[in-house]
Amino acid sequence: MFRTLAVTALFALSLTSAAQAAPAMDLNGRIQQAAENHCAPLLGPRTNSLLYKKWYEECVTVSAAKIMARVTLDKQRTFASK
């Protein structure tokens, strides 16, 4: 009986922690998608050069970092105003 209760409690805790992690993973995916959309013109039909691919990768990395910094700053401002 105790084992069943312990297993049920652990299962409930794991579900709760997984549910809390899901929005963060969703946010990271949305930020990555926004950065890729922003940098998409670098991968046009005539851009077969390796330089364009490198520029695209750098653009995505920098854009995602800037977006994340802005989201973090907005969260801090919201928290500070409460």
pLDDT attached to residue 74: 80
User: Residue 42: which pLDDT band, with cuts at 50, 70 and 90?
Assistant: confident
Is the pLDDT score of 44 beyond 80?
Answer: no
The CA-to-CA distance between both ends of the chain, in Å, stands at 46
Q: Is the pTM of this model over 0.75?
A: no
User: Residue 7: which pLDDT band, with cuts at 50, 70 and 90?
Assistant: very low
What residues does each domain of the chain span? 2-81
Cα separation, 34 vs 64, whole angstroms: 8
pLDDT attached to residue 80: 67
pLDDT tens across 11-41, in order? 455 545 545 555 666 888 999 999 999 888 8
